Amino acid sequence: MSRPKLLSPSAIEQPTLAVWKFASCDGCQLSLLDCERELVAVARRVTIASFPEASSRVIEGPYDVSLVEGSISTPADLERIEEIRRQSGALITIGACATAGGIQALRNGASVGDFVSIVYARPDYISTLAKSTPIADHVEVDFELRGCPIDRTQLLEVITAFANGRPPHIPSTSVCTECKARSIPCVMVADGTPCLGPVTHAGCNALCPSYRRGCYGCFGPAESANTASLDGHLAELGLDARDRERLWRGFAGWAPEFRAAADRAGGTDGAAGSGRAGAPAAEGSELR
C-alpha cells in the first residue's frame, strides 16, 4: 500500500465519492449507511456519484475518491477494477473482503472446480477465477481500511481525511491495546481462551473480548504482527496443529501474515498449498 494520495485544492472544494461493490456481503457499505446523521453531513460535503446500497444512480467518472468493497473473484471483476482504478484519484479498499480476500478466499487452498460442481446445478454456467483475492493484488491501492465489517467511526475518519486532503488517523496497534484501554480482562490469561488479538489490527474496540470471547482476527494483521510467537502460545494452550491452522485461516486468512502462520501451523509452509503472498489469480485459472 502506498502513501495516502492527497486531493488537489480544486477537488477538495466538492470532491466526488464513489462506492463500488465486488464479491462481498454488502456489510461494509451498510456501515456507511449506518452513519445516518453523519452521512447527511458527508453528502453535503461531497458529491456521492455511486453508492449501490443506497441508489441505482451512477454519475459518470472520473471520481476523486473511490471506496471499494469486496474481493476479485471473476474475470469480469478484473476488468471492472482496472477501469475503476483508471477513473479514481484515490482508491480506498474497505473491509476484510477487499483487503484480505474475505471469507470467500477460504476456497483458495482447494480446487474451485470441486466447489462449483457441488454447489451449482449447472457448473458450466459459472465463470469464476480459481482464487478470490484482495484488490491490492490487482491495482494500486491508496489506503486499506480493515474490519468485517469496518468500523463506522474509522470509515468517517477516512472519508473526511481524503475529502480534506490529509492522511487519515487510523491506529495501527493491536486489539490488545483496546482491551487495556477498556480494562477488559484478558480472556487468554484469565480463561485460557485462544485469542488472535495480539496480532490483529485495532479498530473494533475489542468487541469479542468484551463478551469474553477470543478474537479471530477479522481486522487482519496488525503492524509487526509476531504470529510465530502467538502460534507457539496457542500450542501451549492445547490447540493442536489443525485447530491452529483453522484459527489462522479465518475472515482475513488470505492476508500474507495470517496465511504464512496457517501454513506454518499446518506444516505446509514452503508448499504450493496456499499460494504466493500477493499473487494475482493464476493465468488460465478461469472456469467456464
The residues binding ligand SF4 (CB under 6 A) are: 24-25, 27-28, 69, 95-97, 102-103, 148-149, 175-176, 179, 186-188, 195, 197-198, 200, 204, 206-209, 215-219
Q: How far is the CB of 192 from ligand SF4 (least distance, A)?
A: 11
Of 130 and 175, CB closest to ligand SF4 = 175
**What minimum distance in Å lies between the beta carbon of 7 and ligand SF4?**
25
Q: Is 273 exposed, middle or buried (0-12, 13-18, 19+ CB in 10 A)?
A: middle
* Pick 6 or 25: Cβ nearer ligand SF4: 25
Phi, psi of 19 (to 5 degrees): -110, 135
CA 183 to chain centre: 27
Q: Which is nearer to ligand SF4, 11 or 18 (CB)?
A: 18
Separation CA 142–CA 1 (nearest Å): 6
**Cα separation, 132 vs 153, whole angstroms:** 28
Q: How far is the CB of 98 from ligand SF4 (least distance, A)?
A: 7
Residue 222 CB, shortest distance to ligand SF4, in Å, is: 10
- For ligand SF4, which is the closer residue by CB, 7 or 249? 249
Kindly state the smallest distance separating residue 140's Cβ from ligand SF4, in Å: 21
Across the beta sheet with 63-69, the strand order is: 47-50, 16-21, 63-69, 88-94, 143-145
| Residue closer to ligand SF4, measured from CB, 12 or 186 | 186
Cis peptide before 149 (omega within 30 of 0): yes
State the minimum distance, in angstroms, from the CB of residue 184 to ligand SF4: 6
Query: Cα separation of 224 and 231, whole Å?
Result: 15
Select 11 or 148, whichever has its Cβ closest to ligand SF4: 148
Find the residue with minimal CB distance to ligand SF4: 197
Q: First vs last Cα of the chain: how many Å apart?
A: 32
Cell of 46: 461531497
**Among 185, 232, 181, residue whose Cα is nearest residue 210:** 185
